[in-house]
């Protein structure tokens, strides 16, 4: 059964139990929030997930680093244990756990509640996945999905028996949007569900489609991926890189055209500097790129990039393919990148 009809039933039941003016006040607040620009800076697909380390329902710290080391991450935010819409959505995603796990995807829920309330959520709904406490909405704020409960709603929530400050423990009337993100193992946001009307939630079928699509795409990429060993001329600097050599290019900027290197850009997570870090010296006149050379033999081994034409905002490495063993540059057909006119 789809989630939407069950959410609509909650709304109809709630509407039947409260005065019309109260319901209208709530609907008006939702409309005002939808017309605002509160969430215009919310992170989107292509952006990097901010790193985090948050306590679970038992007080144990769970970090984004350990979660992403296992594969994809489905990160879903909920308002609190007191929200019936959240409870339905959390349970609906729980029912898809076998599919998520088969695709190598971890499911994690996050709210601004204190850990003891997170424990209540997990136990009452019998959730078999981590429920984390983002007290103060620190992570939610970095994602751009936090809003303040307007003054008109605060006494209404109190009358409903919902003490936001008691649940969250931060003295603020702030909540996250019930957003859901799918994050790749490299930390890049792949998909996003962002609905300002909290009565609407991601359909489980949509989440399943996300997971299966990106898991299949990653599996296809890994089929053609190979680990190459690289080094400078004198052997002081050594590194490994995972790449399929699908995007070699030559840059026509002043430096690269004189250097004559063929480059491949990879996510920083696919590059590992094995030795020689102390022997590296860097050069770069632009903030987004720093070229690293062996100070002994002078060979430029790689470039660290913060923005580039291939991987958007993802931290990346431009590898000098001439430094890689088992790569015959004569077999490659590099494209030309117009770095001379970039920025």
Q: Would you name the residues annotated as active-site residues?
A: 86
Report yes or no: 133 and 118 within 8 Å, Cβ to Cβ. yes
User: What sign does the CA torsion over 147, 150, 151, 157 have?
Assistant: negative
Residues 6 or more apart from 127 whose CB is under 8 A from it?
90, 91, 94, 109, 121
Strand duo 72-77 + 105-111: pairing = parallel
CA angle (112 as vertex; 108, 115 as ends), nearest 5 = 75
Query: Cα(270)–Cα(183) distance, rounded to whole angstroms?
Result: 16
Using a 10 angstrom Cβ sphere, with 0-12 exposed, 13-18 middle and 19 or more buried, the burial of residue 232 is: buried
For residue 254, count CB atoms less than 10 angstroms from its CB and return exposed for 0-12, middle for 13-18, buried for 19 or more.
exposed
Q: For the CA atoms of 306, 308, 312, 318, what is the dihedral angle to 10 degrees?
A: -70
Q: Give yes or no for a contact between 54 and 65, defined as CB atoms under 8 angstroms apart.
A: no
Give the integer Cα–Cα distance in Å for 35 and 32. Answer: 5
For the chain, give me the number of helices (H) and strands (E)?
A: 11, 19
Spatial contact of 150 and 142, defined as CB atoms under 8 Å apart? no
Across the strands, what pairs with 292? 282, 302
């Amino acid at each position: 059964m789809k989630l939407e009809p069950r959410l609509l039933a909650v709304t109809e039941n709630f509407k039947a139990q409260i005065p019309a003016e109260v319901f209208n006040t709530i609907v008006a607040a939702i409309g005002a929030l939808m017309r605002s620009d509160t969430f215009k800076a919310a992170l989107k697909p292509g952006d990097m997930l901010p790193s985090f380390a948050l306590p679970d329902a038992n007080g144990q710290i769970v970090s984004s680093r350990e979660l992403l080391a296992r594969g994809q991450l489905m990160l879903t935010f909920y308002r609190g244990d007191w929200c019936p819409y959240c409870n339905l959505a959390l349970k609906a995603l729980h029912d898809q756990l076998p599919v998520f796990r088969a695709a190598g995807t971890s499911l994690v829920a996050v709210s601004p509640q204190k850990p003891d309330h997170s424990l209540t959520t997990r136990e009452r709904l019998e959730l078999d996945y981590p429920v984390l406490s983002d007290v103060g909405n620190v992570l939610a704020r970095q994602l751009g999905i936090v809003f303040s409960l307007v003054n008109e709603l605060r006494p209404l929530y109190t009358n409903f028996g919902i003490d936001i400050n008691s649940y969250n423990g931060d003295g603020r009337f702030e909540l996250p949007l019930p957003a859901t993100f799918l994050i790749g193992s490299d930390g890049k946001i792949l998909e996003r569900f962002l609905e300002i009307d909290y009565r609407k939630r991601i359909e489980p079928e949509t989440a399943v489609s996300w997971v299966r699509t990106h898991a299949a795409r990653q599996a296809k990429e890994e089929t053609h991926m190979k680990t190459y060993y690289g080094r400078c001329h004198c052997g002081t600097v050594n590194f490994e890189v995972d790449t399929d050599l699908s995007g070699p290019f030559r840059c026509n900027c002043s430096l690269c055209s004189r250097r004559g290197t063929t480059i491949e850009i990879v996510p920083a997570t696919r590059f590992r500097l094995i030795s020689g870090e102390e022997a590296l010296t860097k050069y770069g006149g632009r903030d987004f790129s720093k070229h690293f050379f062996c100070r002994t033999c002078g060979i430029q081994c790689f470039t660290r990039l913060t923005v580039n034409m291939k991987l958007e905002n993802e931290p990346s490495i431009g590898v000098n393919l001439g430094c890689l063993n088992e790569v015959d540059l004569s077999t490659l057909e590099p494209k030309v990148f117009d770095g001379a006119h970039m920025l």
